[in-house]
Amino acid sequence: MKYFLALTLASVTAYATCQTKEDLLQISTLNAAYVEKMNSISSPMTLDYKALYLDEQWNHMMIMTKTNEVLHSTGRINLVRKVVEILVDRHVRQLNENKVKALIVNGSRILKVSGSKIEDLSTSSYMGILSTGKLNLLEAHKIGFRIEEHAYSGVVRDETPVLLSDFYYTIDFDKYNRLSGKKQILSLMEDKRTEVERFIKINKLKLGQKKSLAILFNYYNSLSSASD
């Protein structure tokens, strides 16, 4: 399990770059075998107004099933309903999550994590993979609300839904823990602490930001890989 991402995702990413949204729509319309396979891992879906998407656009998506089959589709992640919506023969269907292991959306690797392994139930079970190796870094999204108050009365006028990010780490892809700050990160990287602290200082990394976290975890994983 620990190494399936590095091997499987790398093997299918190159093929995905050859496909366009138009290709996928054409395939789903003309290829009966493709439609049958997609129907086997999805179910019909009735759209309603309960929607806030990670990306509102329909995107090229590779679906990695738990039987290690790779299927192509066009889809988007609905964070309100915590489902992936896909187009099959121009109809919207919902992925059956018990059959999905991971996704690649426009080159971004997304892991399907069981909700029972995430401490915050409001967090989406689809986590973006930012770094893999000895210590894996993932970005999880959830829905928050921006409250707008009247300047003088303090009365709430509106609550606008917004996307928020939490960052998680995992060692064995069996247990997922939220990152809580620099002290915890240094503890996780204790075996390379001297090099890591120097790297943070030289590169002026801000460990509350996605880019800095990804840079640091990639650096640590490269050090760990070199010493193995």
Cross-strand pairs, 140: 127, 166
pLDDT (0 to 100) of residue 133 = 93
**What residues make up the domain containing 61?**
1-112
Query: Is the residue at 125 inside a domain?
Result: no
| 211 located within any domain | no
Token pair for 144:
């928050």
Residues 6+ apart with CB under 8 A from 11: none
Segments of the chain with pLDDT less than 70: 1-30, 47-49, 148-159, 228
What is the rounded radius of gyration, in angstroms, for the C-alpha atoms of the chain? 20
- State the pLDDT at residue 116: 84
Q: Is the residue at 152 inside a domain?
A: no
Q: What is the pLDDT of residue 149?
A: 63
- Give the count of domains, the chain: 1
Residue type for position 52: L
In a domain? residue 180: no
Q: Is residue 99 one of the residues assigned to a domain?
A: yes
Contact between 34 and 90 under an 8 Å Cβ cutoff? The reply is no
Fill in the amino acid letter for 200. Answer: I
Given this model, what pLDDT does residue 122 score? 84
| Contact call for residues 135 and 189 (beta carbons, < 8 A) | yes
Q: Helices (H), strands (E): how many in the chain?
A: 7, 11
Q: Taken in order 114, 124, 100, 139, is the CA torsion positive or negative?
A: negative
**Block residue for tokens 């129907």:** 39
Residue spans of alpha helices (H) in 8-91: 10-16, 21-30, 32-40
216 found inside a domain: no
